[in-house]
Structure 1
Amino acid sequence: MWKRPSKRSSRWPSAWRGRVNWCCRARAAKMCSFNRHAIDPQEVEEFQLPGLAEAGESEGPVPWEFSVWDFEGAEGAPGRQPEAAAQAEEILAAARDKAQEIERRAYEEGFHQGLKDGQEVGRRGLEEVVQRLLHLVAELNQEKEQLLAQREGWLVKLALLVSRKLLARELSLHPDVIRGIIEQGFQQLSHLEELRVVVSPPDYEILSRENLTSWPAGVELVADGNLTPGGVRLETAWGEVDGSLETRWQLVEEAVRQALERSHAP
């Protein structure tokens, strides 16, 4: 009994080769065998393709005409899907709108955030500038007060100096003023015993020519070169009164200084 060799077999046995040859010859004989029949010409019908009759009557070859298939207009064409296309357009439009909305929101959020950050930075910078300005104003006010105080001191000194110069000029123009100064000094003395009136040499010359009968009895008039015109010193057994111009002027300056201090006191 013949057995088909396995797929692993590399050699065909002779029985297998003989059976294959027989099968091939039998199949070829069957394909080539057919019955021959004679056909009567009367039974054959004439058949022509459409357009061949007209082509035979016309001169020359007649080209065939082919119609163009209208894919878009054809019903049920695969490229035309109105509903799907409309849905796709709607999806695309919605996606575009969504993208624009996201872009707009991102822009607005970024703008507002940037504006907020800018305002915060500007506010902080403005606060720093304001603090510096306030500090400068405080320093300027302090310096202004100091300058005003210094200027007042300078002005007072200048006024006193000018006044002293004017007084000296007035005494030189009106030498008899010294007599009124001496008589005011008499009023400050409680004891007039052994009274000496000491004046500058120029004033001594003026007073020597004056009538001094209104003065207390026994008054001695003395000249002292250390005194300036307008100055006087009254000496008694109980003490003396310094009425020199320098001393009186120091008293005036001290009074003015105290008045300024009281004006600046809180």
Structure 2
Amino acid sequence: MNYTIYPLGDSALIVDFHIADEERLLNILTSLTQSLPSFMHESFIEAVPSYNTVTVHYDPLKIKSHFPYQLMKAALIELIDGLKVKESRKNREIVTIPVLYGNGYGPDLPFVAQHNDISVEEVIKIHTERLYTVAFLGFSPGFPFLRGMSSSITAPRRQSPRIKIEEGSVGIAGSQTGVYPVSSPGGWQIIGRTPLKLFNPGDPDNPALLSQGDLLKFTSISKEEFHRLEES
């Protein structure tokens, strides 16, 4: 397994994996993130995964050593070298995200179509026919960065970000697609909106609908169906 470990300040370190196979990389990142809390030193605070790294935060004052970074690095190497990698797609349910595309809920859908020289209907068809994997959550609480979007519907970020993007908005930025779980500023091209709540701060044990490694599909719904689901 090819990886590099380096410090991030005096209370964190980064594990950077150099693996070309995206599926294997995601399986390793997910397995490592899930294994860290039970394996690491009591100084462990949290693990933050991204597309190809895991940042490990720790409290150096809880480590009885003059060299806390070296101790944490050695523990990580031991964990990674003996890591049992789980296959993320095995026995995983597919989360279906209903989306109302366009219709005032996806103001940038025509731009994405024009940018790729295809019709609006083709953008929707391509976006809904793919199976996506949640690479990690970031940017805002519960925001899923998804692997698996077709290169035929890529689009650049907006030159001028919007001050407010509505909760549930589905966007595209470059080769990425994702869903805004809460209202926030943002610069992604918005192609639709889901009535599902992806983040619930009232549920402290499981506030996010999605987690790293989850499988996801989008499905197109009508305005009537959107309002029915929104009210349920």
Fold-level match, TM-score > 0.5? Answer: no
Specify which structure has the higher proportion of strand: 2
TM-score, scaled to structure 2? 0.17
Greater RCO (Cα-Cα under 8 Å, separation 6 or more) = 2
